[in-house]
Chain A
Amino acid sequence: MPLGIGCTARPGQSRNNKTGSWRVYYPILDTEKCTKCGTCQLICPEGCITQNEDKTYAIDLDFCKGCGMCAEECPDKAKAISMHLEEK
């Protein structure tokens, strides 16, 4: 990629950097247990949890670094997210 003048960049460049490859543990979201409170989306440091049109949540594993904050913060009454060792 040639350099731009003034070190300018178009937005969305970080999409090219798929941080999911760093992951050791990966999250699984149990949609049956999920109360759709949205806490996981709020606290995800990568912004890789999004809400679908049917109000359910999805985790984009291309960018999930496996930090486990979503599993930790998912409220006790649901505990819908669990972390699992990635097989590489």
Chain B
Amino acid sequence: MRELRIHGRGGQGSVTAAELIATAAFTAGVFSQAFPAFGVERRGAPVQAFVRFSDEKIRLRSQVYEPDYVIVQDSTLIRDVNVFSGMKDGGIVLINTEKNGEYNVPAGVKVIAFDATKIAIEEIGLPITNTTLMGAFAAASGEITLEALKGAIEERFPAKLAASNFNAAKRAYEMIKEGAF
């Protein structure tokens, strides 16, 4: 079983990201589970969402404490929340940031930091980065395919919004695949 933890702020679409990633994984034939950790239900408050991937039915209901993957939607969270907590050796963390920073990650964790906000604004016209980061996650982890992600996005959003969101996801996917970050 592989586990993903998404850190974001209320309103950034972290829960939606978890749901769409789980949907994409499931449609490609993997058992998946997505759920939020609701804190104060308020815009801007730190939130977490979780995804599990497994070849067998998933029974575990606890939150994710030792993730294989972490997505950080907003790098300012790193000051307040230990977003790298419990990450496994060989794990991957995706960080949305416009800066080139150094991160104090556990040993063996690969950091992929890039400006998802810029891509989201250019493609969608909004600083909502969840779909962009989903594309990057697909490329970096291999847990979901770009095609399955397209299906999940199209199922969730109206056609026009789905198209722009998928363009953002695809751009991030290709960027990560090419190692251009």
Determine whether A and B are in direct contact in the complex, meaning some CB atoms lie less than 8 angstroms apart: no
* Chain B residues in the interface with A (C-beta under 8 A): none
